[in-house]
Structure 1
């Protein structure tokens, strides 16, 4: 089983909402981009939340648009062994230092977990130091979680709007 590593966080001092996934899948690792699998609905969901067509933008523009809307990205897992892309195949993981990152984000008001695995690992990491930051568990944007219709996922993801500044 190959050792796989997460990407660097995409944040700045304006970040209000930090979206945390579990660990990049095969397509993301191959392209060096968050949520690169075409069937992953992440870019559509966040784009619909903020009113931007993220899917059709070049990757660097997607990231800049997220930061402009005060949204950051990272993963809860720093590295792990995993065959394929399924979270259920993750073994021997080491967590990213979420608390240290959060301490560098003075405007952070909410952490949103993209799926159950991210929530389980991330909540455990954050429990080491309770804070006033809201924690939201969102349905996974992964194609492996395709049983939930897009409209239902979007309804849950739209709760992020309450934590973002009004444009």
Structure 2
């Protein structure tokens, strides 16, 4: 790595645990929480990340005005669990520059096996190319060795860095991936 960049790379720990319960059907795995998400100790908390608007577009019951993700960790946790969505990340710790997935080095994976052994997860989705790449390299072989076979679907990133994909397109892609695997 370029020495001018190295001093901006930090070793970071994930800092908070997964969101799931005994009714979770789809496990969403990002790469590593952004600095804003680590600060808030919850998933997809950067105000320009489109994850929660996508989730609301897919799952909100229009007949229930209280069925919204909101903007707090507590309201978002409740929304995810009500809709049988589990949240975590592929990486437990790594060296990273800001929120740049491209800069991730020395990744240490999380272990989703306890969740997969307990909850009726029928699909894993990864958000972003780096999460999919690291999942395939660091987690899938271990799960396979343990006899755990849950299909994984890579999805595009909802990060503001993925500006080439419109919100409507993200909603369509995520809807197609989620809906067949939910009750």
Judge same fold: TM > 0.5, yes or no: yes
| SS of 2:152 mapped into structure 1 | strand
Report what 2:130 is aligned to.
117
Q: Structure 2: 5+ residue runs without aligned partners?
A: 1-8, 61-66
The match for 1:100 among 96, 114, 126 is 114
* Whole-angstrom CA distance in 1 between matches of 2:181 and 2:58: 11
Q: Structure 1: 5+ residue runs without aligned partners?
A: none
* Whole-angstrom CA distance in 2 between matches of 1:155 and 1:60: 26
Q: Is the 8 A contact 1:17 1:164 kept in 2?
A: yes
Q: Aligned Cα RMSD in Å?
A: 1.5
- 1:84 maps onto 2:92 in alignment: no
| SS of 1:81 mapped into structure 2 | strand
The match for 2:20 among 11, 17, 27 is 11
Report what 1:46 is aligned to.
55
Normalised TM-score (structure 1): 0.90
Report what 2:181 is aligned to.
163
Q: Is the 8 A contact 1:8 1:74 kept in 2?
A: yes
